[in-house]
Structure 1
Amino acid sequence: MERLRRARRAVKTGFGFLSVPPAGEVRGPLQREVGQNMRFLLKKFISDERGVVWVEALLAIPLLTIITIGILEFGTMMWQREQLQNGVRDAARYWARCRPTDQGASYMPCSIQTARNIAFYGDPRGSVDAFGDPNPLRVPGWYDGAPGATLDILPATPPTAPTADSLVSVEGRVLYQGSPLYAAILGDAVTLGYYHTTRYIGW
């Protein structure tokens, strides 16, 4: 019965040979040797640093990966926003210098479609350059008819008799075209926008 009680105590403590024996109980040589071996193995396990680098790497790599992807995604977003800004300002600069009539005669006729081509493609000819090659878009997804893409140019017609208060206003908006990971994490699209106003100059 005494051995059965001791076995039950050993199972409950997990390391039965490491537990303190009851008062008056003396351990045998085998028990002492096993207890010493267990304490040695436990101490060795605690002090052993092999594999620490792997554990730290497994903890750090996911965090560093997320930070790196976030930096790259933010940089791409800022680049697209800067391209949108350049397109809006170029279109406003062109439209501010347009004057279709001069004293009743045709003088440097301008087209609002040319302004839109300059904004979207950076080229007055639009989607095709002078050599017949396709022009890339300034901003992915920013063109006439694209979902969430807008380009508003005011006034729609350059004034024939500009005054000191004549202004040209251009506003562009586009949905940010991010990576698939960005779309999977955030889901909702981000709208990039820019607004620019300048004095009407004419030719």
Structure 2
Amino acid sequence: MIRFSEIIQRFRGEENGAALVEVALVVPFMLLLSAGVFELSNILNTRLLLEAGVEDGARYMARCNDSNWNTCVTLGTNLAVNGAVTNGTARVTGWKTSQITVTPSLTDAVDATTGTELYLSSTPKVAVVEVSTSFPYSDLGLWSYLGFGALTITVSHQERVFGW
């Protein structure tokens, strides 16, 4: 009968298959790391597209006048989501105009607590429009596989309203 120590002695100087064992140990970690980089890149790309859309919509609405505000909101939200005031193609798959919130407000031109001038104005209040959205990110699989919960990307942007 062959003892265990004799079996070990046979493999001691043997190097055949060492590369295969190393690859078998490293490849799963490399695949997981690559998938993580891809998933994170997709999350960041989605956020940047949402941010660009919200900024475009806010800039468009900041140039509107009060007489046709509802029309401006409709066109501005369409610009944010589709990249064009009419028609266009969606910047982010699944993003809808109903997910955009438009909030016009009057805000102080000077911060009362710090005295910092926020907006150059001859009046104490200025009209500001804030465009925001919350978009539920539909992951590529790795995010939920790792046990993370649902991810919602929230973006907002403010612009001073100048009108036409």
Report the TM-score when normalising by structure 2. 0.77
2:153 is matched by which residue type in structure 1? Answer: L
Q: Deviations over 1:101-149 (max 9, x none)?
A: 4xxxx8x9943111110111111113xx4xxxxx2x112221145xxxx
Residue number in structure 2 paired with 1:47: 13
Which one scores higher on RCO, CA 8 angstroms, separation ≥ 6? Answer: 2
Residue number in structure 1 paired with 2:129: 168
1:139 paired to 2:92: yes
CA distance in 2, matches of 1:76, 1:171: 21
Residue number in structure 1 paired with 2:62: 96
1:124 paired to 2:85: yes
> For the Cα contact (< 8 Å) 1:140–1:177, is it kept in 2?
no
| Corresponding residue to 1:154 among 89, 96, 103 | 103
1:86 is matched by which residue type in structure 2? Answer: A
Change (3 A) 1:194 1:42: closer
2:127 is matched by which residue type in structure 1? Answer: S
What is the 5 A alignment of 1:63-78? 63-78=29-44
Change (3 A) 1:139 1:109: closer
CA RMSD of aligned residues (A): 2.7
> For the Cα contact (< 8 Å) 2:78–2:97, is it kept in 1?
no
Q: Secondary structure at the match of 1:138?
A: coil
Question: Any unmatched runs of 5+ in structure 1?
Answer: 1-10, 19-37, 130-134, 157-162
Change (3 A) 1:111 1:43: same
Question: Between Structure 1 and Structure 2, which shows a larger proportion of strand residues?
Answer: 2
Identity fraction in percent: 27
Q: Secondary structure at the match of 1:171?
A: strand
Higher gyration radius (CA): 1
2:139 is matched by which residue type in structure 1? Answer: G
- Name the count of aligned residue pairs: 146
1:198 is matched by which residue type in structure 2? Answer: E
CA distance in 2, matches of 1:91, 1:168: 10
Residue number in structure 1 paired with 2:3: 15
> For the Cα contact (< 8 Å) 2:75–2:86, is it kept in 1?
yes
Question: Any unmatched runs of 5+ in structure 2?
Answer: 106-122
Deviation at 1:42, TM superposition (A): 4.3
Q: Secondary structure at the match of 2:126?
A: coil
